[in-house]
Chains A and B, each alone.
Chain A
């Protein structure tokens, strides 16, 4: 199973309940909601989808059953935008 982590060149900061990410090359700004921000912070260290789902569900017991799919799609979006990178 692939593992993912933050692209270390991305500048980011948590501001209130949002995580604001900036790609230093394109200058594009991304704003993540609370759940996205939680996953983003977990990606400071390489994790696979299963680990992410477990950690998010521990923090949010009421998370929907589709959480795994949601995180999968989110990871794909992060990688497509080069905000996160897949590791071995």
Chain B
């Protein structure tokens, strides 16, 4: 990609970047290559390579902590290894860090996850800490939970069984239309989806994961769903202003009204499937057509 500005779309939310140096461009492309689109947009976030010499990101104790503030449209994020100042209204600003370090991938992603959350909220959408899948009948479900809840395990199981995995860690839900849409993101955990993954599908159900010896499903109240969704949201709520907090609750409320939600107890096998309503495919009996096999 030779164009100087690169767009990173997530659902209907797009952020434009202008890597000011090859190091910054390489870091962006290394992490998000398959999702980036060359663009000529004027408004963009400048990625500025700021070598840190002896105080490389790897030598910092708290690599992931950011001090975040949001005043009006101005988002600022500061840490020992990176600084960001972004005007959300204009879609412009700067992100400064040592892009030469491989570890910068993670710092950049930390910033982008929070940035996209704020961009999404303004478009009646939000990021959820969840695995998202699409079934062959083009319906989608998410499996929400904190780290270690089993999102990647379920993603791998469902990938083997032929479902499309949109992300195993962070998905975008668009709740502004008549039907909620589940969108893939470039943000994943341990399972990197293939390049052919669909970008979005209808969202039919939300599953809150709980590992247990025996699989089961339990319906949960709207209040519990709303609380759980907000809790599984990426942790930026402390810094969010009243306007965004209200919009986030509004979007969550709209979503709750239109999808099925359940608490899903599962163990790492396929027994959870019968509680999800996901369509049965040929893999389930030895006499039926074997599942297609593919190498990622």
Contacts and interface: CB of A to CB of B under 8 A. Distances in A.
Interface of A: 8-9, 11-16, 18, 20-22, 24-29, 31
B295 A13 contact: yes
Contact of B296 (A9, A16, A29): A16
B270 A27 contact: yes
Quick one: which of A11, A14, A22 has the most chain B CB within 10 A? A11
Interface stretch (B96-104, B169-177, B284-292): B284-292
Nearest to A21: B160
Contact of B283 (A15, A20, A24): A24
Contact of B293 (A12, A16, A25): A12
Given A16-B296, A20-B157, A29-B157, A11 B283 contact: yes
Interface in B240-296: 268-271, 273, 283-286, 290-291, 293-296
A24 B284 contact: yes
Contacts of A25: 285-286
Contacts of B283: 11, 22, 24
B191 interface: yes
A9 B282 CA distance: 10
A25 B285 CA distance: 6
4 closest residue pairs by CB, A with B: A27-B270, A11-B291, A13-B160, A27-B269
B269 A24 contact: no
Given A15-B159, A25-B286, 11 more contacts: A12-B160, A13-B293, A15-B160, A16-B192, A20-B160, A22-B160, A24-B283, A24-B290, A28-B269, A29-B157, A31-B156
A13 B156 CA distance: 9
A15 B268 CA distance: 16
Contacts of A27: 269-271, 273
Interface string B9-38: 000000000000000000000000000000
Contacts of B293: 11-13
Nearest to B157: A29
Nearest to B155: A15
7 contacts: A11-B293, A12-B160, A14-B296, A18-B156, A22-B283, A24-B291, A28-B270
Interface in B37-62: none
A68 B51 CA distance: 50
Contacts of B269: 26-29
B183 interface: no
A16 B286 CA distance: 27
B217 to A, nearest CB: 16
Contacts of A8: 290
Nearest to A25: B286
A30 B115 CA distance: 38
Contacts of B161: 11, 22
Interface string B134-175: 000000000000000000000011011110000000000000
A43 to B, nearest CB: 13
Contacts of A12: 160, 293
Contacts of B162: 11
A14 B191 CA distance: 11
